Structure 1
Amino acid sequence: MTGTDHEHSESVVVAAQWLADQSNPPHPVVPALRGRFGLSVLEACEAAALARKFRTSRQAFA
């Protein structure tokens, strides 16, 4: 599945929410998410992208 039809695993969503809440996000982000949440590289990339969407939505609707 691609685009808006893609469903994320619960661990990806949890990682994305955590990352979106960080005022000082870790750098580099992918290794940090992999270590903290046990994600694969692909899942960590998905979480980072989802976190960006969360932050954008928060700013737009704040």
Structure 2
Amino acid sequence: MWKSCATASSPVPDDAEFCRRISGLLEEGYVLHGGPTLTCKGDTVIAGQAVVLPSDQD
């Protein structure tokens, strides 16, 4: 059972800030859900990653 679902906000540039945001969510107990998504906008790689917070209830 999942308590909530989040993404690292809207897709953002694949940079150190994106990595920090995902790492922070993982430290809060979120887990990765599926694989990352990548696309390009000009010369910028845009990344997205779904994360979910498992529920304490089963």
TM-score (norm 1): 0.30
Bigger relative CO (Cα 8 Å, ≥ 6 apart): 2
The structure where helix makes up a greater share of residues is 1
TM-score by length of 2: 0.31
**Which structure: greater strand fraction?**
2
